[in-house]
Structure 1
Amino acid sequence: MKSYDGCWTCRLRKKRCDEIRPVCRNCSALQITCHFGEEKPSWMDGGLGQKEKAEEVKREVRSAAARRRGALPNEVLEPIAAGLATGGLNRQSTSIPFRGEPTPDSSPGWTSTHTPPGTEPASSTARQDSWNRPDGLSISNLSDGKLGDSELDRRFMMFYFDHFFPFLFPFYKPPLLEGGRSWIIELVVGNQAMWHTTLCLSTYFVSVALDGAISGHKVCKTAAWEKVLNQMGVTFMMLQRNLQDIASSDTQDLIVKTSRIMGSIVQLQRFEISAGNFENCRKHLSAAIALFRKIFQAAENDIGRDELPTFSGVLSHMGRPLWAITSQPSGAWSSDQAAFRFYSALLIVDDIIASTCMEEPPRLLEYHARLLTNSGSPDGRPPLNLEDFMGCENWVMLQIGEISALEAWKKSAKKSGQLDMMELVARASAIKQTLLENLARLDAEANTPETNPLGLFTLYNDQLPPMPGGCTAFVTRVWAHAAVLYLSIMVSGWQPGSAGVRENVVRILELLEQMPAPELLRTMVWPFCIVGCLAEPGEESRFRAMADALVPHQLFRPARKALEIMENVWKCRDELTIDTDFAACVCSLGYMSLLV
């Protein structure tokens, strides 16, 4: 039935609207734009404009439906999150039929940098065969002389290595003396789930690149999107098989195989976010965290003592580095070690950012000291330097995690009537002091020239735009000011007009408008969102301009999602109370958006 009082989207679609604002249930369920407003939109003209808008909404519905099909099924995710600690998964509980399921003989198995006892090491010929053979990961028929699926897959894969991976992770430039990024090829070629997930990413990226670039692009995009959906189905099947495989593994095999599955899920998460699907973030994150814990539990069981395994101890279970250099704190990581470091860093960041809108501490908080601080390390380096992976120094992410944990404590204590404001202020003051001291250090070092002790070996790292103090210092400064804003909201409530909030909003806006390249914003989506939510009406256009500068928009879905959240907040700015928090803003769309 038509709705005369609901949103304009439902009226256009001639559907009954429940009139929930800012997003009605119809639009929320379909993941489409919900148009509210007292004034009739110009396209509701009863003629050509309305007809064109109706077609646009239909395309949006179809696109969202395709994205939703990319969700990792509950049958895969829930056993991971709930049952991994028991030591294995029931084969029947995770078995889902897939059409065209490849046989085990038609796909390469696991490859590893270590050799299990009693087996011969894998030859380079076997690994080369898994890369080249047309009957390997995808079956092709070249008898007609046309480009086969296998060759096409390899081209998509190289497109990912050459273009999409550097685009997604511009700060990840490991030195050649640590092995560089060769582990990506090693892992993808030897891991079926990772192969298909990577194909999903690359195919999506190619489909966007083709959009409007050549004639007949709609056919190309349709074919590319069908390939994405096909690869997603195979990915789910491979993840199930891999989960079943780890149940009977010894400690070393268990750690290596579990880390690969964890990496596949983290990468799957990044694909869905890149494609604009945020509704499965919690499930993917829970699954990856459960696997991460299982890895440390396996290492702890192997130690057999009452001490917690270190990160380096877990890495040692994956084999030995390829080589070691006396003058360097670490050698060249094996492919499994490098992959685990990379995906662990992403997972730590994802967990911290997710905790800011889930009203609970980071679930990996207990690992922060072991992974993100030097913990008495003789070389003074933490096991993971997040600035090497996402451009932000560890101390900022540590403090955001602490603020999130303090907010969860505050809400729990307030609910039980036991909130001690003096304790809250004391703990918050310590966090603020850490943030301000480090910000002062960054400001003092802003004009310090960067040194390059390895010369030629790090030349290829200089791909980020040059700026005073370096890009990581710039990104870290933006994140730190956003952390101060987050802390202020947590302690004092939603007060966008207060002097402290305004000072940091103005400072972050100034920094963001000094970016040497608009694309750098994709590494600062969470700060972009929190400062935007606190912006004044006169500043809204500046945030829209920054988001609009990211083209094509399909490659910057998290930034577009952040803008969508801001605009929701701006619409109901006068209705927000002091009890409003950042979590409520992020979840105003009806689900948690992981802004990474």
Structure 2
Amino acid sequence: MSRKLASRSTHGCWTCRLRKKKCDENHPSCSRCTSLQIACDGYGPRPYWMDRGDLQREQSRYKTHIIAQFKTAMRENELPGTSQNVERELDTLVATTIAPSSHPPAHPTQDTLLRSGLAPEPNLQLLGRDGDLHTSSEPIWSEALNNTDFLTELFYDQTVRMGSHNQSSSEASQTLATSISSVAEESNVPGSIGVSRSNSSSEVNMDAMDLLCDPILSEYSSSKWSGYNSEVDWSLCSQRPSRSGSTDPGSQPAGLSNPILHGDVEDILFMYYFDQVFYMHCPFYFPSNRQGRGWLLSILKRVNSAYHAALALSEYHYSTSMQHDSAYPVRTRGGHYDLALQELQTSLARSSAWSGNLGLTHNVEVLTTILHLLFYESCSGGKHNWQIHLGGANVLLPSLVQAQMGSATARKDQTKEHQDRAIPHPDTSISFLLGFFIYMHIVTCASTRSSQFLISDHKVLLETGEIKLADLIGCSNWAIVFIFEISSLDKWQKEEEDAQRLSLIELTKRGRQIEERLLSRLARIENDLSKRAPVDAHLRPEFIKTDITRIFALSAITYVHVVISGTYPDIPEIKRSVSKTIDALRSLPDPKLLQHVVWPYCISGCLATDEQQQAFRELVTLPRITHGTCLEALSLMEECWRLRKTESSSHDWASIMERRGQYILLI
């Protein structure tokens, strides 16, 4: 027998009060909201969007749109309870049991955070067992995060385009339409290993689809970045398919209309990511603590944007691999990437809700997403969107820097007794993310010869050993610190030159000091290399790291001489360091390791003499590298060599990028 819903009261959930509907005041989610498969915003303090103004109207429009889609899906699938007025039947029918909403309320509690995936799981211990890093005071920069417009307008809402995968306008439109069709078949919460997604028990992912049609995002259709047209046929967004599949059966690969098979495909991509793709980008990451990669699995399970970003990366490698079996259909390449962008924008819009330790957790989740998007950009040539992503990460990184430094202080204060307990290290995710972003920031400055990301705290973390880059990129901290110092010298030189007070004597003096210290460290490496055992020693990870560190250091010598003397390949010091770099690159045990030394490869190649140039071409062609930034680096070299012959002025990697109006992410 159906039970009667309570009359409307001032104590109903905020969703029903927003919609001016009766609420039975069930906890934690009312029956009306769960029956309509919309987020129940609970019974806590008044949400920020209940402002009797624009925010409230926008939230109401959003909820109404989701409900309309749900009703359409019910009618098209002939679900039980279908009628012309579902709301009217809800007043008399007993609400069916459906999985709780995955959306957090506007003022979340820890319990709802755990359910929604915006807080760490209890066994993750991201912030330690007591939830405190001992320096958990809210950072000053959080004022910027509290301004949603600042975050979204700063980088994502201005210039990130939809479908940035070298497609024409019509191809991008078809990609977007196909990805939307695929989204309708999924639930909103990423599944974990061994747990399939169920259409009958989870909320349809209407968030991402609704954002795709948001009028604000239509600005993307006319935006341009780095000379790249981002037109998309936004009229396709109105073609919302039902949960059962696409409105056009022929628009999807065979098998994707079956939700079980579709789930299998995502599971395959998910496992392919952890088994293969992760180590393509992080071949040196083998954490010694018991947590391992568990923190990453936890984030990918909880956070939609990170999940889709990882799947986009996996899908890209899967589709470009010559090894995989074609029996499993995959979505168009843009699908997961575009979903990750939309979910990322949603997360950034909610940044103002978090502060302190919860804010740190939120930033870790967002940065995990951004890192995977940057990996994707590097795979696809490193030409599009990476500056926006890296700039966005720069806003969030200070909280991780503060946490890492505070955690280091706390560890120093621990007694020997505490250290012997083998407590899981709380900073695994933070160290991982900081390491990659610090590396990308420093290499970006050296690649573009700009000072945008020269941050002194990053150098401190590397010098103190709080971050160990060798376990992430294979290169020791000291070599990257030298590149940081040379970029700082380059910045100083430009500032002095602009002020018309540049002393060439002082410039040479500073450059020589850096070079002398670099040569001293290189001498130690050469000494270690001479002591290697001849049999299979080069295959040991520590020796591969030594090789990679040496390559970076040799290229740093080339870099410092470019800053001191200019881009002249015939300068003896430059010619000698380029020659040694060629030998070091050729001696790599696996030719495909070239993809992990793209910056040294590009810097040295652009300064190659005529007789050295063929060696740099062969380095790419021999391992048959077919994608990534290595090919873009070679393209920069070829143009640099050509212009050096046809024009009187000298050119380097940065001037070629500037000439093209397109900067490359050389990672």
* TM-score range for the pair, normalised by the shorter chain length: 0.5 to 0.7
Offset at 1:446? 1.9
Q: Structure with the greater relative contact order (CA < 8 A, sep ≥ 6): 1 or 2?
A: 1
The answer on whether the counterparts of 2:146 and 2:351 sit within 8 Å (CA) in structure 1 is: no
Structure 2 counterparts to residues 199-218 of structure 1, below 5 A = 199-209=311-321
2:43 corresponds in structure 1 to none
**8 A Cα contact 1:197 1:268, kept in partner:** yes
Structure 1 residue 548: Cα displacement: 0.9
Q: Is the 8 A contact 2:401 2:457 kept in 1?
A: no
Confirm whether residue 489 of structure 1 aligns to residue 562 of structure 2.
yes
Q: Residue in 1 aligned with 2:443?
A: 353
Aligned to 1:549: 622
- In 1, distance between residues paired with 2:430 and 2:537? 25
Say which SS state the counterpart of residue 275 (structure 2) adopts: helix
Shift, 1:511, TM fit: 1.3
Aligned match of 2:405: 310
Structure 1 residue 357: deviation in Å? 3.6
Cα separation, 2, equivalents of 1:192 and 1:293 = 24
1:518 corresponds to = 591
**1:419 is matched with which residue?**
502
1: CA distance, partners of 2:244 / 2:193: 15
What is the aligned counterpart of 2:308 among 172, 176, 196? 196
Asked if residue 592 in structure 1 is aligned to residue 663 in structure 2, the reply is: yes
- What amino acid sits opposite 1:363 in the alignment? F
Question: 1:523-550: CA deviations, max 9, x gaps?
Answer: 1111111111111222222211110123
Within a 5 Å distance, the mapping from 1:211-360 to structure 2 comes to 224=330, 226=332, 228-296=333-401, 310=405, 312=407, 326=420, 332-334=424-426, 337-360=427-450
**Is the CA contact 1:171–1:388 (under 8 Å) kept in the aligned structure 2?**
yes
Query: Alpha-carbon deviation of 1:148?
Result: 2.1
Q: In structure 2, do the counterparts of structure 1 residues 201 and 145 end up closer, same or farther at CA, with 3 Å as the change threshold?
A: closer
Q: State the match for 1:169 in structure 2.
A: 282
Amino-acid identity (%):
23
Shift of 1:131: 4.3
Do the aligned partners of 1:187 and 1:339 also contact (CA within 8 Å) in 2? no
The answer to whether the Cα contact below 8 Å between 1:387 and 1:394 also exists between their aligned partners in 2 is: yes
Q: Distance in 2 between matches of 1:327 and 1:445?
A: 36
In the superposition, relative to structure 1, how do residues 490 and 577 fare at CA in structure 2: closer, same or farther (>3 Å)? farther
Contact 1:107 1:192 in 2 (8 A): yes
Q: 1:262 to 1:242 in 2, by over 3 A?
A: same
Q: 2:488 aligns with which of 363, 383, 405?
A: 405
**Deviations 1:155-193, CA, capped at 9 Å, x for gaps:** 111011101111222111222x35222322222111111
Distance 1:84 1:238 in 2: 22
Larger Rg: 2
Determine if the alignment matches structure 1 residue 431 to structure 2 residue 523.
no
Question: Post-superposition shift, 1:311?
Answer: 5.5
Residue type of the partner of 2:525?
Answer: L
1:133 equivalenced with 2:197 (yes/no): yes
SS of the aligned residue for 1:561 comes to helix
Question: Matches of 2:376 and 2:144 in 1, distance apart?
Answer: 27
* 1:574 paired residue number: 645
Alignment of 1:32-47 (within 5 A): none
Residue 507 (structure 1) aligned to one of 577, 580, 592 = 580
**Does the 8 Å CA contact 2:463/2:481 hold for their aligned counterparts?**
no
1:533 aligns with 2:590: no
Query: 2:631 pairs with 560, 574, 577, which one?
Result: 560
Which sections of structure 2, spanning at least 5 residues, go unmatched?
Answer: 1-140, 163-175, 206-242, 246-254
Distance across 2 between alignment mates of 1:166 and 1:384: 19
**Separation in structure 2 between the aligned mates of residue 233 and residue 537 of structure 1, nearest angstrom:** 43
Deviation per CA, 1:21-54, whole angstroms, max 9, x where unpaired?
xxxxxxxxxxxxxxxxxxxxxxxxxxxxxxxxxx
> What CA distance in whole angstroms lies between the structure 2 residues aligned with 1:500 and 1:145?
63
Instruction: Tell me the equivalent position of 2:146.
Output: 87
> What number of residue pairs does the alignment pair up?
449
Distance in 1 separating the partners of 2:321 and 2:351: 38
1:372 maps to a residue whose letter is L
Q: Which moved more, 1:272-281 or 1:187-196?
A: 272-281
SS class of match (2:350): helix
Residue 480 of structure 1 and its aligned partner are, at CA, apart by: 0.3
Q: Which of these residues, 529, 545, 553, is aligned with residue 480 of structure 1?
A: 553
Alignment CA distance shift 1:287-1:314 (3 Å) = farther
Residue equivalent to 2:457: 367
Instruction: Summarize deviations over 1:270-312 as a string: whole Å, max 9, x none.
Output: 1011122413221111111111135557x6xxxxxxxxx7152
Measure, in 1, the Cα distance between the counterparts of 2:410 and 2:379: 29
Deviations 1:376-397, CA, capped at 9 Å, x for gaps? xxxxxx1101111001111111
Does 2:246 match 1:187? Answer: no
Change in CA separation of 1:283 and 1:154 when aligned onto 2, cut-off 3 Å:
same
Structure 2 residue identity aligned to 1:108: V
- Per the alignment, residue 108 of structure 1 pairs with 189
Residue 230 of structure 1 deviates from its aligned partner by 1.6
Q: Measured at CA, do residues 144 and 503 of structure 1 come closer, stay the same or move farther in structure 2, by a change above 3 Å? A: closer
Letter paired with 1:547: V
Q: Deviations over 1:39-80 (max 9, x none)?
A: xxxxxxxxxxxxxxxxxxxxxxxxxxxxxxxxxxxxxxxxxx
Q: Distance in 1 between matches of 2:647 and 2:485?
A: 25
- Residue range with higher mean Cα deviation, 494-503 or 147-156: 147-156
The offset of 1:551, in angstroms, is 3.0
- CA distance in 2 between partners of 1:285 and 1:261 (Å): 12
Cα offset, 1:441, TM superposition: 1.1
Shift of 1:430: 1.9
Tell me, which stretches of 5 or more residues in structure 1 are unaligned? 1-81, 110-126, 300-308, 375-381, 451-462
SS of the counterpart of 2:569? coil
- Which residue does 2:270 correspond to in 1? 157
Secondary structure of 1:148 counterpart: helix
Q: Is the Cα contact below 8 Å between 1:482 and 1:504 reproduced in 2?
A: yes
> For the Cα contact (< 8 Å) 1:201–1:271, is it kept in 2?
yes
1:392 is aligned to 2:497: no
